[in-house]
Chain A
Amino acid sequence: MKNGVGVAQNIVLFGGTSEIGQAILRRVVKPGVSRVVLVSRNIDLAETVTNPLADRFPEVDFHHVRFDAADAASMADVVSTITEEIGDIDVAIVAQGLLNEGVDYYSTPSALVEMANVNFTATMTLLYSLSAQMKAQGYGKIVLLSSVAGERVRKGNPAYGATKAGIDGFALALDHELAGTGASLLVVRPGFVTTKMTAGMKKAPFSTDADSVAMIVEKGIASDKKVVWAPGLLRWMFLILKNMPLPIWRRLPL
C-alpha cells in the first residue's frame, strides 16, 4: 500500500541497472518502504549497483527478478512472478531502454528490430500487464521513462526517437483509459541525460543528470501530473520545436 505521506510500500524498477532508474530509487526509497524489486537482464550487476541503497535501508527487502527486455510475450509472466513474491505493486518504474548510439542500421538492420522490441513492443505489453494488475488493486502508479526525442523525431537516430514517440503516445492514451480505476501513469520526458548510455556523445543543450531527473520524478509521483519534463524548461522549448515548419526544422543544427 501507499501511505498517507506519499510513500509507496512496494516499488518495482524495470531495467534494474538503469542509471536514471537507480537515481529514482534513491529518492523514493525512504522510511515506510517495505519491498523493492529490481527486474533486470543482468541480476548480478543490478545487485551490485543496488547494494549501497540496501545498506542504507536494512529494513527493506530487496528482490531480484530476471527478464528479457526484448521479449514482449514474457511480460505478463514477469508481472505475475513479482506479485507472487511481494503482493501489490504500488509504484512501477519502467526504465529499460536501448539507445543504439553509433549503430549503423544499414549494415545491422536487426538492431532496429531489437530496439523496437525493447523500447516499444515489450514495453507496451509490460504497461498493459501492469495496468491490469493495478486496475485490480484499485490504485497504483506506473512511471514510464520516455524522452524528448519522441516529441519530434530527428535525424541521427530516427529509430530511437520513433520508438519513444510511439510508447509516449501509447502511455498517455492508456492513462486516459485508466481514469477512475485508481491506477495511473506518469510519463517522464528527460532531455540529454549524462549517463553511461550517453557516454562519449556530444552533450545537447539543456543537458541534465540522473539525480535531477529523479528529483522531478519524485515530485511528479506525488502530484496528479501526467507528464513531467527534465529539465522543466524543455517543455517550452519543444512547444516551439514541435511546431516549427519543416524547412526551418531541417536547417536547425540539432
Chain B
Amino acid sequence: MPRERLSGWGRTAWTVADVVKTTDPDSIRSVVAESSERGVIPRGLGRSYGAAAQNAGGHVIELTSEHDPLGADAVLDPVTGLLDVASSVSIDAILRLCVPRGWFIPVTPGTRFVTVGGAIASDVHGKNHHFDGSFGQHVRSMSVMLASGEIVELSPTSNPAWFWATVGGMGLTGVILRATVAMLPIQSSRVRVETERLANFDEVCATMSSDGDDATYRYSVCWVDLLATGASMGRGVLTRGDHAEASEVKGDDPLAYDPRLTVSAPGWVPNGLLNKWTIKAFNEAWFRKAPSKRHVGIESIPAFFHPLDGVNKWNRLYGPQGFLQYQFIVPLDRTDVLQRVIERFSSAGVASFLAVLKRMGPQNLAPLSFPTEGWTLTLDMAAGLSGLPELLSEVDGMVLDAGGRHYLAKDSHVAPSAVRRGYPRFDEWMSTRNEMDPQVVWRSDLARRLGLVDPRRVS
C-alpha cells in the first residue's frame, strides 16, 4: 500500500498515510478490517482547506472517479429530477451530465471539483443558502458503509439521527457510497446577474439585509475589499441573480454547457507573491471593473459559480508555505463583530485575496452543519505570516463571544473548545457518532486536533 503525503487544499500541515484509491465496497470493507488503531478516513477531491480528509499514520480511502472510462456513475430521472449518484462523482461531472438536460445541482460551493461524498460530509453551502439551504437538505437518501462493514440506507425519514449526523459529519460516521439528490430544474445554462458597487461596509450590510431585497434573489454574495481604509472601509461588489429563462439566452441551445479550464498556476510560485501590495492593486482594479451603477448581465455557470476553477491549481499561488481560509458566521444582529474582525485583520496587515460576505438562511437539522442564520465572512491568508496564531486566536474569541462559529471544512487552526462553544449540539452529534462507530475506526487529522473522536480505540 503506497504511503503518501497529504494536505488539504490550503497545502499546510502535511502528514503521511496509507492511501487506497477505490470505490468498491468490498475493497473498502477490507481496508477497514485491516486498519490499525490510527483508523481510516474517506477522501474525495481534497478541496477542504485544512486536515479534514487526511489521517496521519493511518489509512485514507480516496473515492474519486474523475478518470472513470465509463463516465459518471449517475442516473438522472428526467421526470422527477432525482439524481442517483455515486459519492465519488464530482459536481463538475454532474453538471456536464445534467445541465444539457435542464437540471442544475441544487447547491454548489465556489468550486465544482468536489465529490458528492465530500459535499454531504461538509454540508457545503453556496450563494443560495438564504434561499435553498445547504447541500444536505437536497439529499433524499444515501447509503453509508459503517465501520462494521454493514451498508445502511439513511434518509431524513427512515433514520433521521444517523442521516443528519452524517450530513456535516466530516466523514467520521462512515463511508458515503451513494446518494439520491433532488436536482433543480433550469431553462438555460446562463445566469442573470445584477452587479452593483457598494461604497462601504454599512452599505454592504444594509443592501444584503433581509429587509433589503436579498430575499428576492436566489443567489447573492458580496466580494469585500478588506484593504480599503477610511470612508471606503469594507467597500464591496455585490452580485445577485437567478437562472436565466430560455428566452433571455441568445443562440440555438439555451442549455449548452462547456466549462473549460483556462490556465494552470505554475508550480514555482514563491512565498509572498500574494502580499498586501499586489492584493491592494488587484482589489482596486476589481472594484473599478464593476459597473458603478446597478447593471444586469448574462453570465455562464462557470463564470458566476466557479470563477476560481478557471485557474487550475490556484492554491499554488500562495507558494510552498500554503494558506488558510478563515470562515466564520455571526448572528444577523452582530455586524459590529464583522466590522471589528475586518478592522483587526486590516490593522495587522493581513491581506486577503478573496474576502466574501454572505447572509445565510436558517440552519438545518444536522448538529455539525455550519450555516445558521447570520453573516458569514470568508477570507484567505498566507499561512506563514508571523504572529498569525496569536491574531487568529484573538479573532476566534471575538467570533465565539458573539455566539458565532467556524466552518470545519475550512478550519486549520481553531482550538478544540471552539467546536464545543460554536456548535451547541456537539455532544449530541458525538453520541450518535459513537453509536454508528463504537470502535472509533473513523479518524482524521482534523478529528485528532479538535477531539471530534475519542483518542483511544475502543476494542
Contacts and interface: CB of A to CB of B under 8 A. Distances in A.
Contacts of A222: 384
Nearest to B455: A87
A232 interface: no
B392 A31 contact: yes
Given A1-B51, A4-B50, A5-B413, A139 B12 contact: no
A162 to B, nearest CB: 35
Nearest to B3: A180
Contacts of A71: none
B290 interface: no
A1 B445 contact: yes
Contacts of B56: 1, 88, 137-139, 182
Contact of A138 (B17, B50, B383, B455): B17
A34 interface: yes
Interface of B is mostly: loop
Nearest to B413: A3
A30 B445 CA distance: 20
Chain B's interface size range is 35 or more
Q: Which of A1, A3, A30, A136 has the most CB of B within 10 A?
A: A3
Contacts of B307: none
Contacts of B15: 137-139, 182
Contacts of B51: 1, 4
Contact of B449 (A1, A136, A138): A1
Interface string A115-155: 00000000000000000000111110000000000000000
Interface in B20-53: 38, 49-51
Nearest to A3: B413
Interface of B: 3, 5, 8, 10, 12-17, 38, 49-51, 55-58, 322, 324, 383-384, 388-390, 392-393, 412-413, 415-416, 445, 448-449, 455
10 contacts: A3-B449, A5-B392, A87-B448, A139-B15, A180-B5, A181-B16, A182-B5, A182-B15, A182-B16, A182-B57
Interface of A: 1-7, 9, 30-32, 34, 59, 87-88, 135-139, 180-182, 222
Closest 8 CB pairs of A and B: A4-B412, A182-B16, A138-B57, A31-B393, A138-B56, A1-B449, A4-B12, A139-B15
